[in-house]
């Protein structure tokens, strides 16, 4: 059947201004890091993307290396743009990145102008797009001058290949420098994409202040700590979890008895709030309006529905916040 988006898709989603820009992002965005690659079911990914858009998620986050195999998530999304999303392109915010390994030789990763320009050209071909809405430097390059990396971001905006640019996983000090370089070039930095969750709070030590002072938005990846902050681990490590399968992303050494104890306590707070643990974890990341959007992943439609429902209760009492702080300590 021909896909027609839900007529009420914008009624319940919350949209936040991205820094000082004119761009609004949904409070919940969908990332295609896992489960949308060539090894995965296209129809399963299609169902999740359709449901996300029907729920008001307009922002879809990709990178050149997402899959597996690398590049295949962009190819999958490109197929969706042709089959389902073509009439809605101007309602979508599509982002991608360059910086991690993609092809052999000295130009296949990191932050040189050669890599960044080549990688974006490849990404645009895979997705069948003339431009992306946001393009990121996926990680800082210790061996390339930051002026060169930021100059490449400025160039792609001027070439019309991206509307906005951002960075991911840069330190507060690197972010200050990157913001300054882009400002001097005349292409303001839109957004920073850091990891952030109840179990990973590094951005509170300076980065959030830097972003706020410079009018830069933020979108938090891994807000559920790669599944730790869900009901999956409330009763220990399930056999089908990432930890049990010794995934390169979440090792069993990260799922200690202490962590499970905290998960159980946090789950009690969530239950009292009328939420599941994942919903409370997302609401917590979005608290106080310092994070523009929480970037979720999904392996099934129901997870997207549950995560978006977190927006029904974003308020925390002082007592709840203190309980959470005491648990996390």
The domain spans of the chain are 15-227+288-314
**300 pLDDT higher than 60:** yes
User: Coil, helix or strand for 239?
Assistant: coil
The secondary structure of residue 39, as a DSSP letter, is T
Q: How far is CA 322 from CA 118, 196, 199, 274, 316, in A?
A: 48, 19, 15, 18, 10
Q: How confident is the model at residue 135 (pLDDT cuts 50, 70, 90)?
A: very high
3-state secondary structure of 274: coil
pLDDT higher at 228 or 247: 228
What is the C-alpha to C-alpha distance for residues 121 and 161, in angstroms, rounded to an integer? 8
Element (H, E) at 13: none
pLDDT tens, 45-62? 999 999 999 999 999 999
Q: What is the mean pLDDT of residues 52-78?
A: 98
Q: What are residue 293's phi and psi, to 5 degrees?
A: -150, 145
**The CATH number, out of the four listed (3.20.20.100, 3.40.50.10680, 3.40.50.720, 3.10.450.50), of the domain defined by the range 15-227+288-314:** 3.20.20.100
pLDDT single digits (tens) 86-126 = 999 999 999 999 999 999 999 999 999 999 999 999 999 99
Query: Mean pLDDT, the chain, as a whole number?
Result: 95
Q: Using an 8 Å Cβ cutoff, are 220 and 295 in contact? A: yes
What is the CB neighbour count within 10 angstroms for residue 10?
14
Is the pLDDT assigned to residue 167 strictly greater than 80? yes
Nearest-CA neighbor of 149 among 123, 115, 125? 115
CA distance 65 to 69: 8
For residue 315, pLDDT beyond 50: yes
Both tokens of 279, joined, read 């919903």
Given a cut of 60, whether residue 295 has pLDDT beyond it is yes
Average pLDDT score over residue span 134-151: 98
Give the pLDDT confidence score for residue 235 in this predicted structure: 78
The pLDDT assigned to 67 comes to: 98
Q: Does pLDDT of 264 surpass 60? A: yes
Give pLDDT tens digits for 251-262: 667 789 999 999
What pLDDT does 233 receive? 84
Mean pLDDT of 124-144: 98
Residue 302 pLDDT level (bands cut at 50, 70, 90): very high
- Band (pLDDT 50/70/90 cuts) for residue 247 is very low
Pick the residue with more confidence: 1 or 281? 281
CA-angle at 92, arms to 89 and 95, nearest 5°: 110
Lowest mean pLDDT among 94-98, 187-191, 238-242, 306-310: 238-242
Give the distance, in angstroms, between the CA of residue 221 and the centroid of all CA atoms in the same chain: 4
Answer whether residue 241 shows pLDDT above 80.
no
Q: What pLDDT is recorded for position 68? A: 98
DSSP per residue, 167-235: EES--HHHHHHHHHHHHHHT--EEEEE-B-BTTB-GGGTTHHHHHHHTT-EEEEE-TTGGGTTSGGGTT
| Residue percentage of the chain with pLDDT more than 70 | 95
């Amino acid at each position: 059947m021909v896909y027609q988006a839900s007529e009420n898709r914008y009624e319940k989603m919350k949209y936040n201004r991205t820094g000082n820009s004119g761009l609004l992002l949904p409070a919940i965005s969908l990332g295609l890091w896992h489960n949308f690659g060539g090894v995965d079911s296209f129809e399963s990914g299609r169902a999740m993307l359709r449901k996300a858009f029907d729920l008001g998620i307009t922002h879809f986050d990709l990178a050149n290396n997402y899959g597996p195999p690398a590049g295949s998530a962009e190819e999958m999304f490109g197929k969706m743009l042709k089959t389902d999303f073509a009439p809605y392109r101007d309602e979508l915010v599509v982002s991608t990145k360059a910086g991690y390994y993609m092809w052999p030789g000295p130009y296949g990763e990191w932050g040189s102008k050669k890599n960044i320009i080549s990688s974006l050209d490849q990404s645009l071909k895979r997705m069948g797009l003339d431009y992306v809405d946001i393009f990121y430097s996926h990680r800082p390059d210790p061996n390339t001058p930051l002026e060169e990396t930021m100059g490449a971001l400025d160039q792609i905006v001027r070439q019309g290949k991206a509307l906005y640019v951002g960075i991911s996983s840069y330190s507060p000090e690197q972010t200050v420098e990157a913001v300054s370089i882009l400002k001097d070039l005349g292409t303001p930095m839109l957004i920073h994409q850091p990891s952030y969750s109840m179990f990973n709070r590094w951005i509170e030590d300076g980065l959030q202040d830097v972003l706020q002072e410079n009018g830069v938005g933020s979108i938090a990846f891994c807000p559920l700590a790669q599944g730790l902050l869900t009901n999956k681990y409330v009763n220990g490590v399930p056999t089908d979890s990432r930890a049990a399968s010794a995934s390169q992303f979440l090792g069993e050494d990260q799922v200690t008895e202490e962590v499970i104890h905290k998960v159980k306590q946090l789950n009690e707070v969530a239950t009292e709030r009328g939420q599941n643990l994942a919903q409370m974890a997302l609401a917590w990341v979005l608290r106080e309006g310092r994070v523009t959007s929480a970037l979720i992943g999904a392996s099934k439609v129901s997870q997207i529905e549950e995560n978006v429902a977190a927006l029904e209760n974003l308020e925390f009492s002082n007592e709840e916040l203190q309980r959470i702080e005491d648990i996390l300590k």
